Structure 1
Amino acid sequence: MSELIQNVIDSDEKQDLRQFASELRISEKRYLLRNDILQAFADYCLKFQKSDHFVHSSNLSKLIYYTQEIILENESICLIVRPQIATQERFRLRPDLSVDVMSVQELLDLRDHFVDHHHPHEGNIFAIDFGPFYDYSPQLRDSKNIGKGVRYLNRYLSSKLFQDSNQWLESLYQFLSLHSYNGLQLMINDRITNQNQLSHAIKKAISLLNKRSPKEPYENFRFELQEIGFEPGWGNTARRALETLEMLDELLDSPDHQVLEAFLARIPMIFRIVLVSIHGWFGQEGVLGRPDTGGQVVYILDQARSLEMELEEELKLSGLSVLGVQPKVMILTRLIPHSDGTRCHQRLEKVYGTKNAWILRVPFREFNPNVTQNWISRFEIWPYLETFSIDAETEILAEFQGRPDLIVGNYSDGNLVAFLLSKRLNVIQCNVAHALEKSKYVFSDLYWQNMEDKYHFSLQFTADLIAMNAANFIISSTYQEIIGTTDSVGQYESYKSYTMPGLYHVVNGIELFSPKFNVVPPGVNETIFFPYTRTEERISSDRQRLENLIFHLDDPSQVFGKLADPTKPPLFSVARLDRIKNITGLVECYGQHPELQEKANLIFIAGKLRVEDSSDYEEAEEIQKMYHLIEHYNLYDKVRWIGVRLSKTDTGEMYRVIADHHGVFVQPALFEAFGLTILEAMISGLPTFATQFGGPLEIIKDKINGFYINPTNYDETAAKLDEFLLRCQYNIGFWNEISQRGMDRVYSSYTWKIHTSRLLTLTRVYGFWKYISKEKRADMMRYLEALFYLIYKPRSQELLQQHLQR
């Protein structure tokens, strides 16, 4: 039994536990989440005049702190306790304070009964359990290592090389002999036929290269190395080739995890990459600010550019660029025939600033042209993904003249397509969630049937389960994206166990201790987003034009609100206009606090200005709410709402203009998986206030290079902003200090070069792991196919039938 509960029962506080349970029964709620529980305990302590020590340090307070959920039954109380991250315990507390440990299945049954106690499900329900399929792979032991999977996997592989040298060295030899590019054999040729010959050949090649000048180009000794058995790919100079061969020699003699990673990182095995992003308006112009289009588009375009640059550099160092080997990056998305003035109807579009990176758009099959020729919400896209993947496969093979070497999925739909493509093409699959909707919508699993018409979570959550378990590796932007914090559940962790009543139970949806998880945060496009102080790189005409738009332009088609005093420092925000991004919450916070209105204006770029111009119901609701708030708090001359789509270049200058006026950036999202706009604002020089719910906790160090806010607590948020503004009034050096620290933070940890270098290294390491353990994934893949064809596909066909009637 949990030590947390036992400590309460073994102490004098057991009467408080019984009394607290009685108080819970008086309330109307029968299912309490963590915030409800904390509030109920606070109310209890206030009602019974408990001491500060009891409130903060008693055994009962500790139990309450770690309790995530409480379900009130007829007589008993069920507690779901999370004593540490990635760990969950379940208990049934009876009236006599006896405690029973509950199984996952018992908890899921209880949740089902809670939802529909009048018509409980009869018989067994389908249970999904991925636990047994992770027996083939090594497992991390300590939760603090979650997100560092490749480091653990390297140690595991190098230890295997040491323990069972013959088998593993043979695998390494076979792996090296696989690599080629368009018929050009790489690394080793048929003069080396086994691992023993490989060892002798390495020493002979090292002796040869030691006699060469370190800077001598590969072409000068290429044929001598071929005679020994080594093909192109070892290095572009004698020094580089010698270093690579010495790594392999050391690896064969005394395996080490650091040497293994460094060696695998040098193998030229990645030339063609597919980045999959299906939903939304994916383009380079005229798309930002539209429904389903935001940070993900920026992320992928920047990633594509950086991947091409990194691959070019790697191919140059490996000696392959002189042989005409060139990388190619393809962004796979959907073609939208009715493209509303964008280029989303074009099949192929080159990515700006690249040599060989492209956007490849493939149309959905026209089951109903009234639907498929137009934009389709990310919540409605599911019926078209299987046939899209089939059509996309043909297009990809034609464009590459062969198979890709890596497929990266983005978001739930892109990850599912990545699964379908990688399964058929036998290619390494990487997943990037960006955001998992399950964490954003409270009780979205338990009450899925009530939300199905609007959100179709049964399809999305099933797609997530399939894709995340199929992936060879997963990259997240933050550690807490995987397993949360001490007091909040991570996005991936939320898939560990849950129920969708009447559909299925998830007993074990994802193995959090699998080494497939790696934290690889994105970077910032430094050519567009750079400090406001670099005036020589700024274009004065752009600066003046945006100054006018932000502070002065009187055009109701572009802006709403006219500032009475434009000289006040601006509170600035930019985001989609939806509930989660919470721009309306920021306006309400500002409206409720006159002291903020006295010190600063509120300026934000968010969505459209007219309800009739929006095709997204959530955006339309937020537009109506925005006008109501501005009227209610009489903010017409203090708020500036900009409803235009800015180019990336203009967005970068927008941040800098706000910094010129010593403004601050506020990111008020109710939840933010990462927060690319935070990096953009910080690198531009804006002191940043960002939500404490999600990824910003790992970007910002509170009160050092930025500030955390609780966007649900308006008084607290306003007080922090007011304190900062007041301090800056008396000491402008404080603004400069926070500004500089924010810039330093981004440059040290969040560049695209760091990101893409790590991504390519991960691909090579997991590619090696995939090769040596391939026979052990077959059972997992069969299980995933069963989920796809028996659960996902029938439900997607039901949604398709609805679309056919439109």
Structure 2
Amino acid sequence: MYELFEAVWNSDEKTVLRQLIDVLNTSGKRYFLRNQILQTFADYCQQSQKPAYFYHSSSLGKLIHYTHEIIMEDEYSWFVVRPRIASQEVWQCKADFTSFEQMTPQALLDVSDRLVNRHQDRILEIDLHPFYEGSPRIDDPRNIGQGLAFLNRYLSSQLLTEPQHWLELLYLALHKINYEGIELLIGDRIPSGIQLAKQIKLALKFLSQQPPEEPYEKFRSRFQQLGFEPGWGNTAARVRETLELFERLIYSPEPAILETFVARVPAVFRVVLISIHGWVAQEDVLGRDETLGQVIYVLEQARSLENKLREEIKLAGLEFLGIKPHVIILTRLIPNCEGTFCNLRLEKVEGTQNAWILRVPFGEFNPEITNNWISKFDIWPYLETFAADAQRELLAEFQGKPNLIVGNYSDGNLVAFLLSHSLKVTQCNIAHSLEKPKHLFSNLYWQDLEDKYHFSAQFTADLISMNAADFIITSSYQEIVGTPDTIGQYESYKWFTMPQLYHVVDGIDLFSPKFNFVPPGVNENIFFPYSQKSDRDPELSKQVRELLFSSEDPQIFGRLDNLHKRPIFAIATFTPIKNLTGLVECFGKSQALQEHCNLILLASKLYPHEAINPEEAGEIQKLHDIINEYHLQGKIRWLGMRLPSRNLGEAYRVIADCQGIYVQFARFESFGRCILEAMISGLPTFATQFGASLEIIENQEDGFNINPTDLEGTANKILEFLEECDTHPQHWQEVSEWMTQRIHNRYNWHSHTNQLLLLTKIFSFWNFIAPENNEARDRYMETLFHLIYKPRAEKILEKHMGG
């Protein structure tokens, strides 16, 4: 960036920059974000009649486009510049424009504290950089999130350059694999890696003389004499394939061979999936509004994992030993459960043989609080005792330790850290969404927001768990590092201030192979294309059609005047971020859209008095007001209810029968389960450009990505599509089929589960061969937990006990 600043300083563009800073100063503000900076620059260029190239291609134009923040002080202007994804720099310019200088993040954090009048000379600095020094890391930002592929290449190259050393490590790693004390893969008769390589040749010679389909049990005794225990395969052919893979790995290591071999290693039998605050139950309970997606994710993941583990155990030849997979969804038991099963200690996951929901109660403290559902913002004081109680329950249920612990959301990830640290088990984090980037300036003004959100505990918990995790899986690339124009959710933790509490000067290494992009799937038994007529229930279809278009119910608002219009379908909860009111306003402002379409909304509530908080009540009332303001009666239908999953799947298909469309209008969407459901059902889907939908739809012409802040532009984009469909009827069908195939091929639970288990095995091996940094890192995380997190959580508990 130095060259770019120098180019501006050494040209007439320096004068333009000075004038631009003066314009910003006249606003009376001192803190400016990228959108406002770009808009101010665009307005300046227009008013000054600058040529078009100046805005885009001049040195100053490039500098402004790279700038994400500007902070004004009396003597300096501070620029936070992002020249490329995952790379931010701080530059300071003198107010008289005599000089510029690159500065440290620490300097910027001091400036930020002064901005809100909360600066102090000495403050705790959190720096995680030393724990990533010396570790292999990804070089190219485009490969961030592909840690598995990176480690496969790295380990293969190590096997090639130091074959004897790595052969011994492989031997030790395989030799320690067991199930409840039963040796697997390699027995004590093989004392070293060198001997293992020799024994493989003898074993392959023996196997070549066996019928390919010969069951493992029939030659087990002879195989054990050669030093090999169960786990290589269920037939002579399968065992031979696995040993041949291992031999190839020893003598000609390649990433693809390593991955294929590791996939066959039976090293995972027991898995814990943690979802603490989610109101986790089945029978279409599936969480509260704020946790619905998370609960569905965990339940479907559990089913897929148990099924995959069962398949792996069978192919490894371990069924005859009575080995079975065991998957537990760990959540909290809620005594006052409003007629659900959330007060049941143990509940079997439907569609599985040995996957269970295990509910552990919070310690009592104040039963008026702990006996009820607790918001994700208030849950922090109860997690440490929950983790200790849950550990005892898990060990009793498993009759041993798990092989993998997966946290979900900030609270579940913290519990995963506590359990993994105590049990010495591989930890995986899944954030789904992080609150810090969702709430603008939430770290800077944390003290003002503390009573409501308790961000000090949450952001500290995030720092601890994301750095302690052995690996992190995300649903999208942008979740980690955003886009060229936006900062990623994890990237927002790279540096930030919590004024008068601490400064984070390096919070996470975005280039660490621990980050892995592993998108979830969709339940294709429930959500499948509308064109699969033979799989649809005609009676259910009729019921859902009537519900969507015509039947009367106290929880349905609106009758449609013209049922022949194309339906626009939307599903959302009532939060400002989900922005259902924005969609209705967009529809209300466009007469052309109203002439072409009906708007059908599926939300969980209909009236403000049904809301669980003032924010939700305000959004519901706002939607009613917009309907009245734009006189949308007869053009809109609003179902204030939650449909059972089976009915929901049919609802998408009924809309597709009418050649309708789906619109997701969120201001930001970290992933968007409903986008997957709509697309795989065959609905052409328009979704927000802010978040993961850019990757889900991956529409190069930007035809289906919408800007929810541009109501007119969104309406025009939808109208362009509808007019194309009217002119060329096959266009709707072509888009429908493309979207269905996109989800079917890329977003499926089979692929997700394969990747999750591969990651578990690779990172377990990685931790086995390189444990030094992990121990130091975990000590640091433990310090943050006890010295920062616990005191913050105790303050919340004091408030709860006082209430």
TM bucket, shorter chain: over 0.9
Amino acid at match of 1:191: R
Look up the SS of the partner of 2:356 in the other structure: strand
Which of 447, 458, 475 is 2:473 aligned to? 475
Gaps of 5+ in 1: none
Aligned residues with identical type, % of pairs = 56
For residues 416 and 399 of structure 2, the distance between their equivalents in structure 1, rounded to whole angstroms, comes to 19
Three-state SS of the structure 1 residue aligned to 2:290 is: coil
The equivalent residue for 2:154 is 156
User: Structure 1 residue 288: deviation in Å?
Assistant: 4.5
Match of 2:589 in 1: 592
| AA at the equivalent of 1:784 | M
AA at the equivalent of 2:38: L
Which residue does the alignment assign to 1:653?
Answer: 650
Q: Distance in 2 between matches of 1:14 and 1:105?
A: 27
Q: Secondary structure at the match of 1:412?
A: helix
* Alignment gaps of 5+ in structure 2: none
1:712 aligns with 2:713: no
Aligned to 2:423: 425
Q: How far does residue 254 in structure 1 lie from its aligned partner after superposition?
A: 3.1
Q: 1:706 to 1:212 in 2, by over 3 A?
A: farther
1:14 paired with 2:7, answer: no
Partner Cα separation in structure 2 for residue 253 and residue 484 of structure 1:
41
Matches within 5 A, 1:748-787: 748-787=745-784
| Distance in 2 of aligned mates of 1:210 and 1:154 | 30
Does the residue aligned with 2:289 lie in a helix, a strand or coil? coil
Cα deviations by residue, 1:485-527 (Å, 9 ceiling, x for unpaired): 1111011101000101111100000001111011111111110
Q: Distance in 1 between matches of 2:687 and 2:519?
A: 17
Q: Is the 8 A contact 1:290 1:607 kept in 2?
A: no
> Which residue pairs with 1:113 in the alignment?
114
Q: Is the 8 A contact 1:389 1:421 kept in 2?
A: yes
2:526 to 525, 528, 545: 528
Rounded to whole Å, the distance in 1 between the matches of 2:745 and 2:265 is 27
Corresponding residue for residue 612 of structure 1: 609
Give per-residue Cα distances to partners, 1:732-782, cap 9 Å, x unaligned: 211111101001111111111011011101110001001111233111111
Mapped partners of 1:622, 1:281: distance in 2: 23
The 2-side partners of 1:322 and 1:784 are apart by 42
Question: 1:703, CA displacement in angstroms?
Answer: 6.7
Q: How far did residue 632 of structure 1 move?
A: 1.6
1:32 has 2:32 as partner: yes
- What is the Cα-based RMSD across aligned positions, in Å? 1.4
Residues 704 and 42 (structure 1), Cα distance of their counterparts in 2 relative to 1, 3 Å cut? closer
By how many angstroms is 1:475 displaced? 0.6
Query: Is 2:191 the partner of 1:190?
Result: no
Partner of 1:42: 42
Name the amino acid aligned to 2:218: N
Give the CA deviation at 1:11: 2.8
Q: In 2 relative to 1, CA 97–42 (structure 1 residues): closer, same or farther, beyond 3 Å?
A: farther
Give the AA of the match of 1:112: D
Partner secondary structure for residue 231 of structure 2: coil
1:354 aligned counterpart, secondary structure: coil
Tell me if 1:73 matches 2:83: no
Contact 1:289 1:645 in 2 (8 A): no
Which residue does the alignment assign to 2:322?
Answer: 324
Report the counterpart of residue 60 of structure 1 in structure 2: 60
Asked whether the 8 Å contact 2:287–2:295 carries over to 1, the reply is no
Partner of 1:233: 231
Q: Is the 8 A contact 2:703 2:717 kept in 1?
A: no
Shift of 1:270: 0.4
Query: Is the aligned partner of 1:682 residue 2:679?
Result: yes
| Contact 2:281–2:287 under 8 Å retained in 1 | no
Aligned-pair CA distance for 1:787:
0.5
Distance 2:413 2:239 in 1: 37
The residue correspondences of 1:171-190 to structure 2 (distance < 5 A) are: 171-190=169-188
Q: With the length of structure 2 as denominator, give the TM-score of the two structures.
A: 0.98
- Partners of 1:703 and 1:514 lie apart in 2 by 29
Distance 1:422 1:503 in 2: 27
Counterparts of 1:75-114 in structure 2 under 5 Å?
75-94=75-94, 95-114=96-115
Q: Could you report, residue by residue, the CA deviation over 1:434-459 in whole angstroms, capped at 9, with x for unpaired residues?
A: 00111111111111112111111111
The letter of the residue matching 1:749 is: R
Contact 1:277 1:414 (C-alpha < 8 Å) held by counterparts: yes
**Secondary structure of 1:603's aligned partner:** strand
Is 1:499 aligned to residue 500 of structure 2?
A: no
Q: 1:704 to 1:658 in 2, by over 3 A?
A: farther
1:591 positional shift: 1.2
Q: How many residues align?
A: 802
Structure 2 residue 631 is matched with structure 1 residue 634: yes
Q: Structure 1 residue 470: deviation in Å? A: 0.4
- Contact 1:687–1:705 (CA<8 Å) still a contact in 2? no
TM-score normalized by the length of structure 1:
0.98
Q: Secondary structure in 1 aligned to 2:641? A: coil
Residue 407 of structure 2 aligns to a residue whose secondary structure is: strand
1:216 corresponding residue in structure 2: 214
How much does 1:286 deviate?
4.1
Match of 1:664 among 661, 664, 675: 661
8 Å contact from structure 2 (residues 430, 472) kept in 1: yes
Q: Deviations over 1:645-693 (max 9, x none)?
A: 2111111111001111111000111111111111110110000000111
Counterpart CA distance in 2 for 1:22 and 1:619 is 40
Task: Say if 1:474 and 1:518, in contact at 8 Å, map to a contact too.
Answer: yes
CA drift at 1:136: 4.6
- Which segment drifts farther, 400-409 or 214-223? 214-223
For residues 147 and 70 of structure 2, the distance between their equivalents in structure 1, rounded to whole angstroms, comes to 33
**Structure-2 residue corresponding to 1:371:** 369
* Post-superposition offset of 1:539: 1.0
SS in 2 for 1:293: helix
What is residue 455 of structure 1 aligned with on the other side? 453
Give the C-alpha shift of residue 702 in structure 1. Answer: 2.2
Question: How far 1:726 moved relative to its partner?
Answer: 2.1
- Partners of 1:651 and 1:675 in 2: CA distance: 15
- 1:401 corresponds in structure 2 to 399
1:108 aligned partner, one-letter code: L
1:288/1:646 contact within 8 Å kept: no
Deviates more, 1:132-141 or 1:703-712: 703-712
Query: How many Å apart are 1:290 and its aligned residue?
Result: 2.8
Q: Is the 8 A contact 2:167 2:194 kept in 1?
A: no
Matched, 1:538 2:545: no
Question: For 1:324-344, what per-residue CA distance to the aligned partner results, in whole angstroms no more than 9, with x for missing partners?
Answer: 211011111111111112211
Secondary structure, aligned partner of 1:202: helix
Structure-2 separation of matches of 1:232 and 1:542: 49
AA aligned opposite 2:502: Y
My pick for the range that moved more, 796-805 or 614-623, is 614-623
Matched, 1:51 2:48: no
Aligned counterparts of 1:141 and 1:161: Cα–Cα separation in 2: 21
Find the aligned partners of 1:64 and 1:721 in 2 and give their Cα distance. 32
Cα pair 1:704 1:741 within 8 Å, conserved: no
1:126 alignment counterpart: 124
1:410 paired to 2:408: yes
Q: Which residue in 1 is equivalent to 2:136?
A: 138
